[in-house]
């Protein structure tokens, strides 16, 4: 029996007598591959399928789900390739260099074939020490390139695999230097970008080994794929949460200039990666934010938002703008002065984002508007009289939840005067009355009914504004019409004490004994 | 995370304050944008099916952690925030067929019905039995009067002092006017109004009609939230009452 099934297994795996088991394993595999695939798509690491000089397997199939057999085969080949590399590294005779390059190339091809390269097999066979040896100073460019490429893909997957690159890091960093050929420097930057994308620990190691200055210098030229890869690697390197790297980066000679230049003039792909660098600079480092704002970084950001339609570019540019507005009160008070051209420009591009089809743009644009609306009375009036309000009102009733929350912040901020630090903030009655007349109350009552604490809080806070601020005591009537009392009474048996108290307080105060008696 | 500083002024309501909100780069606020970046960069976004994309987004979004129903004692896991309203309407709107008050669980509804519409219950109270159950499931304590139970809820279970189990309902303006009118008509012609009020021939309808008659007095027609205690109901003959089962 056992022999039989073994034989049939070798002959025709799919139709073997253990076919059901194999099918089940494939299904299980599919589920794990599904999960693996999801994780790999979401990572901040990137596989290198096509080399810096344009070579690579053209016949690579995307979405090809390997059968078990193919997987085993690939693993076998990889182990052999590493063995081959080992002997090539040891060999000192004639044609040694070519032998090494060929072995490296073979390994590189195996590691670039599929979405899930056989990294585990390569590591198990001892690839890392060999690859480190191949990175030694004085090695020919081709050898350096292939070795760095292998390391790039080994580092593109699971955390343990990326961490395995530790011994190689100093050499990879060294080859970023200006003496290296561009393709070599780029491939090393790519590998380091993957390592930095793994997590805080590895970022710390890279920074302590001096990875930042040479990478920073690589973004100074005007163009080239090297600049783009280096920018991407930098965005991974400085993403924190420690703000030190971000602050250091902006201080490197020529970097600020290069960033602004790329934002202004470079092609969209390069501008995208640079914009992500700006995202992290502005989110983490107050110093960098200040420098960027003073150097008029807002202008090219607004320009890109106005002219580009590439979602890939718009996301980081919008977010950079958002971070600069959120991170520094000077942005709103000294740059975005109402009446200035730049301010009108900002409002316009934010409106453009509100009109877009993309969820992220609508949500983050609303966030930026809410921060501008948190400025002076003039800022509020500027937004209030713009195209933004009708769009926001529509979004409040129709958009997905996360967008509605941000929109709520904008509208509420338009109705409340800047905080003075003492007591209840004043209402801006005209805005409140007008927005309520245009039908925003039901959207806020919907938020009161939400299971999200923050949203419910916003809804209740706005309801309080209406109850307090609508003239002629109209507030309670209007709230009742929108089933607001019902929504608030739900909090009777809600587990959150703050919300319960808020809701109870409002109902007690505005819908007490005397409500509706003399009608 | 966003920092919202609210002013806890009179009655400690946290009023809306207009302030800037800043987020760290790894804040969940930015996760959908980050996800989008990685998908677009890997240029497989086009290869993803609509299904896969939605799954991925859910994996990252807050919703993936699962929202739990915030109603005390429920704990139901909701797949998304959008589901909450449906869940609430399905599971937390048990309404009283006598007076239309709504409760978030069938247990609370049943307690209400006993306390508000069952004269047998009132009779036992009058005779000194501890009939008022604690509202918290599993507590099992019983009290001789409404106030005693109320105090227990506040002291032992940290209910807010403004909480009122009875008189939670808030009739709409239309209903209030209708109630006002009914009382005026009743004062003129008792028999005629009782006939008008019996909307259906069921026992429930009769009980409802009789109980409305018996609570008429000169107080305001609306029932206010959090201010009034339960008003005593006059005795209703048991032959008219529908038998009610306690769950």
ipTM: 0.88
Q: Residue A378: is its pLDDT beyond 60? A: yes
Q: Give me the residues of A, 32-61, that contact B with CB < 8 A.
A: 38, 41-44, 46
Contacts of B90 in chain A (CB under 8 A): none
- Residue A233's pLDDT is 97
CB contact under 8 A, B33 and A315: yes
Q: Residue B2: is its pLDDT beyond 70? A: no
A243 versus A52: the higher-pLDDT residue is A243
Q: Which two tokens stand for residue A7?
A: 């034989």
Q: Residue A189: is its pLDDT beyond 80? A: yes
pTM of the model: 0.80
Q: Residue A454: is its pLDDT beyond 50? A: yes
Q: Residue A65: is its pLDDT beyond 90? A: no
Q: Residue B190: is its pLDDT beyond 60? A: no
% of chain A with per-residue pLDDT over 90: 75
Which residue among A327, A413, A507 places its CB closest to the CB of B226?
A507
* CA–CA separation, A322 and A345 (whole Å): 14
**Position of tokens 């794929």?**
A225
- Residue A2's pLDDT is 41
CB contact under 8 A, A41 and B56: yes
Give the model confidence (pLDDT) of B31-75 as tens digits. 999 999 998 887 654 466 666 666 666 665 544 556 889 988 788
% of chain A with per-residue pLDDT over 70: 89
The answer to whether residues A167 and A186 touch, using CB atoms and an 8 Å cutoff, is no
- Residue B186's pLDDT is 52
Contacts of A449 in chain B (CB under 8 A): 84-85, 88
| Mean pLDDT along residues A24-52 | 72
- Residue B54's pLDDT is 67
- Residue B33's pLDDT is 93
Q: Residue A416: is its pLDDT beyond 70? A: yes
Nearest CA to A301 out of A250, A335, A334 is that of A335
Mean pLDDT computed over every residue of chain A: 89
Provide the 8-state DSSP code for B30. G
B203 versus A189: the higher-pLDDT residue is A189
A346 vs chain B: nearest CA distance in angstroms?
17
Nearest CA to A42 out of B30, B79, B59, B26 is that of B59
Contacts of A428 in chain B (CB under 8 A): none
Nearest CA to A362 out of A389, A400, A331 is that of A400
DSSP A100-155: HHHHHHHHHHHHHSSSS--HHHHHHTTHHHHHHHHT-TT--HHHHHHHHHHHHHHT
CB contact under 8 A, A423 and B9: yes
Contacts of B3 in chain A (CB under 8 A): none
CB contact under 8 A, B72 and A457: no
Give the model confidence (pLDDT) of A193-241 as tens digits. 999 999 999 999 999 999 999 999 999 999 899 999 999 999 999 998 9
Task: Tell me how crowded residue B106 is: count the other CB atoms within 10 A of its CB.
Answer: 12
The answer to whether residues B121 and B136 touch, using CB atoms and an 8 Å cutoff, is no
Phi, psi of B68 (to 5 degrees): -105, 140
- Residue of chain B with shortest Cα separation from A448: B85
Q: How confident is the model at residue B92 (pLDDT cuts 50, 70, 90)?
A: confident
The number of CA neighbours under 13 Å toward the Cβ of B108 is 23
Of A6-15, A432-441, B97-106, where does the model show the most confidence?
Answer: A432-441
Mutate to test the interface with B, among A492, A514, A518 (most CBs of B within 10 A): A492
| Mean pLDDT along residues A62-84 | 82
Q: Residue B229: is its pLDDT beyond 50? A: no
Q: Residue A122: is its pLDDT beyond 60? A: yes
| Mean pLDDT along residues A362-379 | 97
pLDDT-wise least confident of A348-362, A465-479, B104-118: B104-118
| Mean pLDDT along residues B137-159 | 87
**Position of tokens 């059901």?**
A20
Give the model confidence (pLDDT) of B13-24 as tens digits. 999 999 999 999
| Mean pLDDT along residues A167-188 | 96
Mutate to test the interface with B, among A30, A41, A363 (most CBs of B within 10 A): A41
- Residue A203's pLDDT is 97
Q: How confident is the model at residue A72 (pLDDT cuts 50, 70, 90)?
A: confident
| Mean pLDDT along residues A132-152 | 96
Q: Residue A160: is its pLDDT beyond 70? A: yes
Nearest CA to A111 out of A61, A165, A50, A153 is that of A153
A274 vs chain B: nearest CA distance in angstroms?
13
Helices (H), B20-136: 31-41, 50-60, 82-91, 106-117, 119-126
Give the model confidence (pLDDT) of A291-309 as tens digits. 999 999 999 999 999 999 9
How far CA A430 is from CA of A371, A413, A415, B137, in Å, comes to 20, 13, 8, 48
Q: Residue A434: is its pLDDT beyond 60? A: yes
Helix axes A341-355, A377-384, angle to 10 degrees: 50
- Residue B243's pLDDT is 42
Assess A330–B contact: CB distance below 8 Å, yes or no: no
% of chain B with per-residue pLDDT over 70: 52
Assess A388–B contact: CB distance below 8 Å, yes or no: no
- Residue of chain A with shortest Cα separation from B77: A451
* CA–CA separation, A376 and A371 (whole Å): 11
Q: How confident is the model at residue A67 (pLDDT cuts 50, 70, 90)?
A: confident
Contacts of A313 in chain B (CB under 8 A): none
Q: Give me the residues of A, 123-152, that contact B with CB < 8 A.
A: none
Give the model confidence (pLDDT) of A246-287 as tens digits. 999 999 999 999 999 999 999 999 999 999 999 999 999 999
Q: Give me the residues of A, 258-287, that contact B with CB < 8 A.
A: 276, 279-280, 283-284
């Amino acid at each position: 029996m056992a022999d039989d099934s073994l034989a049939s297994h070798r002959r025709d795996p799919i139709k073997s007598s253990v076919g059901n088991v194999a099918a089940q394993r494939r299904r299980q595999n599919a589920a794990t591959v599904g999960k693996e695939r999801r994780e790999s798509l979401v990572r901040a690491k990137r596989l290198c399928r096509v080399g810096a000089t344009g070579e690579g397997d053209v016949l690579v199939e995307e979405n090809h789900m390997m059968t078990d057999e193919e997987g085993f085969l690939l693993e076998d080949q990889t182990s052999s390739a590493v063995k081959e590399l080992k002997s090539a590294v040891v060999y000192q005779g004639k044609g040694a260099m070519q032998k090494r390059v060929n072995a490296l190339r073979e390994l590189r091809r195996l590691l670039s074939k599929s979405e899930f390269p056989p990294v585990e097999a390569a590591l198990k066979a001892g690839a890392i020490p060999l690859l480190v040896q191949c990175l030694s100073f004085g090695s020919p460019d081709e050898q350096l390139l292939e070795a760095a490429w292998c390391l790039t893909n080994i580092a593109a997957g699971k955390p343990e695999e990326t961490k395995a690159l530790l011994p190689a890091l100093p050499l990879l960093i060294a080859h970023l230097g200006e003496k290296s050929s561009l393709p070599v420097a780029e491939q090393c930057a790519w590998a380091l970008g993957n390592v930095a994308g793994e997590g805080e620990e590895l970022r710390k190691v890279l920074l302590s080994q001096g990875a930042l200055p040479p990478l920073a210098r690589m973004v100074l030229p005007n163009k080239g794929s090297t600049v783009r890869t280096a920018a991407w690697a930098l965005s991974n390197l400085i993403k924190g949460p420690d703000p030190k790297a971000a602050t250091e980066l902006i201080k490197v000679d020529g970097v600020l200039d290069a960033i602004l230049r790329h934002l202004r003039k470079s092609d969209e792909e390069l501008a995208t990666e640079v914009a992500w660098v700006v995202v992290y600079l502005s989110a983490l480092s107050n110093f960098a934010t200040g420098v960027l704002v003073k150097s008029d970084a807002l202008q090219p950001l607004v320009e890109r938002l106005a002219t580009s339609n590439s979602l890939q570019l718009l996301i980081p540019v919008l977010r950079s703008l958002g971070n600069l507005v959120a991170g520094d009160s000077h942005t709103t008070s000294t740059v975005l002065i109402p009446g200035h051209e730049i301010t009108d420009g900002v409002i316009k591009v934010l409106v453009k984002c509100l009109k877009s089809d993309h969820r992220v743009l609508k949500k983050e644009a609303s966030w930026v508007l809410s921060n501008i609306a948190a400025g002076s009375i003039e800022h509020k009036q500027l937004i209030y009289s713009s195209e933004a309000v009708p769009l926001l009102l529509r979004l409040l009733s129709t958009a997905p939840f996360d967008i509605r929350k941000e929109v709520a912040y904008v509208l509420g901020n338009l109705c409340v005067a800047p905080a003075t630090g003492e007591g209840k903030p004043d209402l801006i009655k005209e805005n409140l009355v007008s927005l309520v007349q245009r039908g925003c109350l039901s959207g806020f009552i919907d938020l009161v009914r939400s299971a999200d604490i923050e949203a419910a809080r916003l809804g209740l806070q706005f309801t309080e504004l209406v109850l307090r601020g609508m003239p002629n005591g109209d507030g309670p009537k209007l709230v009742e019409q929108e089933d607001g009392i019902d929504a608030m009474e739900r909090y009777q048996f809600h587990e959150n004490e703050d919300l319960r108290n808020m809701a109870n307080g409002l109902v007690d105060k505005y819908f007490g004994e005397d409500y509706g008696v003399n009608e | 995370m966003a920092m919202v500083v609210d002013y806890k002024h009179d009655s400690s309501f946290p009023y809306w304050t207009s302030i800037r909100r800043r987020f760290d780069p790894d804040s969940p606020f930015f996760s959908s944008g980050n996800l989008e970046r990685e998908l677009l960069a890997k240029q497989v976004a086009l290869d993803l099916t609509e299904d896969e994309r939605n799954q991925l987004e859910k994996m990252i979004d807050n919703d993936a952690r699962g929202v739990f129903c915030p109603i005390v004692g429920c704990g139901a896991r909701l797949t998304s925030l959008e589901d909450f309203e449906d869940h609430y309407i399905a599971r937390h709107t048990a309404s009283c067929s006598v007076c239309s008050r709504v409760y978030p669980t069938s247990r609370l509804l049943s307690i209400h019905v006993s306390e508000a519409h069952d004269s047998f219950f009132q009779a036992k109270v009058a005779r000194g039995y501890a009939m008022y159950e604690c509202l918290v499931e599993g507590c099992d304590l019983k009290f001789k009067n409404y106030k005693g139970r109320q105090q227990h809820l506040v002291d032992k279970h940290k209910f807010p002092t403004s909480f009122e189990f009875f008189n939670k309902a808030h009739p709409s303006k239309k209903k209030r006017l209708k109630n006002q009118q009914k009382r005026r008509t009743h004062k003129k012609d008792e028999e005629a109004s009782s006939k008008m009020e019996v909307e259906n021939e069921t026992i429930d309808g009769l009980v409802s009609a009789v109980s409305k008659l018996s609570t008429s007095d000169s107080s305001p027609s609306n029932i206010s939230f959090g201010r009034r205690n339960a008003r005593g109901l006059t005795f209703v003959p048991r032959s008219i009452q529908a038998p009610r089962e306690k769950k």
